[in-house]
Amino acid sequence: MSGRPILLLFTGTGGSGRKSVACKVGEAMGLHPVVSYTTRSPRPREANNGFYRYINESDFEMSFQAGEFMETVTINGYRYGIKRSELDKALAGTRGAYLVLNREGTELFKRMYGEQAFRVFIYVSKQTVLERLTAKGMPYEVVERYMAQYSDEVSYRKSCEAVVENMELSLAVSKVLEAVRSSQLVI
């Protein structure tokens, strides 16, 4: 390992497969995932996916008041946050870590970590999001929300260091790896 650990920030359009791509890239590069705490409930087949810790509002508030979060956001009435202890754990003795975040969180971590952070924007067409989420059995109100947010989310791609379409998972993973390797990041 040389240089400082890197932070890959996966963002993009909801339901585009960001977590799927992030996992594979993380495995290939030896990066660790950073768990996010949320007050929303797990969705079908989502429990224990390694990306979220589901906690209640009062536990979230207690951690918030104790200053444990580096970043928090409220989306559709639910709170999400990244704890300093989780990021430190993911970075300890490793080549780096990765997070899956919305646009605001991605911006914040990019500002905090500067050159160490690399933003990867993952997207597919709105129609493909619809088909994948429906096939996954996602609740109707969640699918509707993802559809409504699509145009706003997709506009963030121009700010990111890499923009990758995820039609075929292994191809998307290769493109992210190539983009990171050809960047100025020291790994």
Ligand X SMILES: Nc1ncnc2c1ncn2[C@@H]1O[C@H](COP(=O)(O)OP(=O)(O)OP(=O)(O)O)[C@@H](O)[C@H]1O
Ligand Y SMILES: Nc1nc2c(ncn2[C@@H]2O[C@H](COP(=O)(O)O)[C@@H](O)[C@H]2O)c(=O)[nH]1
| Paired tokens of 49 | 């996916």
Of 18 and 175, which has the nearer Cβ to ligand Y? 18
Per CB under 6 A, contacts with ligand X among 34-73 are: none
At 13, phi and psi to the nearest 5? -85, 135
Instruction: Tell me: does residue 14 bind ligand Y (CB under 6 A).
Output: yes
- Residue from 5, 9, 11, 15 touching ligand X (CB under 6 A): that is 15
- Look at residue 73 and give the partner it binds from ligand Y, ligand X, none, a contact being a CB closer than 5 to 8 Å depending on partner kind: ligand Y
Region of 15-23, 28-36, 74-82, 109-117 interacting with ligand X (CB under 6 A) = 15-23
Q: Where is 180: in which H helix or E strand? A: helix 169-181
Per CB under 6 A, contacts with ligand X among 75-134 are: 100, 132
Give how far the C-alpha of residue 178 lies from the chain's centroid of Cα atoms, to the nearest Å: 19
| Paired tokens of 54 | 């589901």
Report how far residue 114's alpha carbon sits from residue 111's, in angstroms, rounded to the nearest whole number.
Answer: 5
Instruction: Tell me: does residue 144 bind ligand Y (CB under 6 A).
Output: no
Looking up tokens 């754990």 gives: 89
Region of 67-75, 83-91, 123-131, 171-179 interacting with ligand Y (CB under 6 A) = 67-75
- Residue from 80, 118, 123, 150 touching ligand Y (CB under 6 A): that is 80
- Residue from 102, 116, 159, 174 touching ligand Y (CB under 6 A): that is 102
Region of 80-88, 121-129, 158-166, 179-187 interacting with ligand Y (CB under 6 A) = 80-88
Q: How wide is the angle at C-alpha 157 spanned by C-alphas 154 and 159, nearest 5°?
A: 140
Report how far residue 108's alpha carbon sits from residue 110's, in angstroms, rounded to the nearest whole number.
Answer: 5
| Paired tokens of 114 | 């500067």
Of 41 and 92, which has the nearer Cβ to ligand Y? 41
- Look at residue 136 and give the partner it binds from ligand X, ligand Y, none, a contact being a CB closer than 5 to 8 Å depending on partner kind: ligand X
β pairing state of 78-83 and 69-75:
antiparallel
Report how far residue 43's alpha carbon sits from residue 109's, in angstroms, rounded to the nearest whole number.
Answer: 26
Q: Which residues bind ligand Y (CB under 6 A)?
A: 14, 36, 40, 71, 73, 75, 80-82, 100-102, 104-105
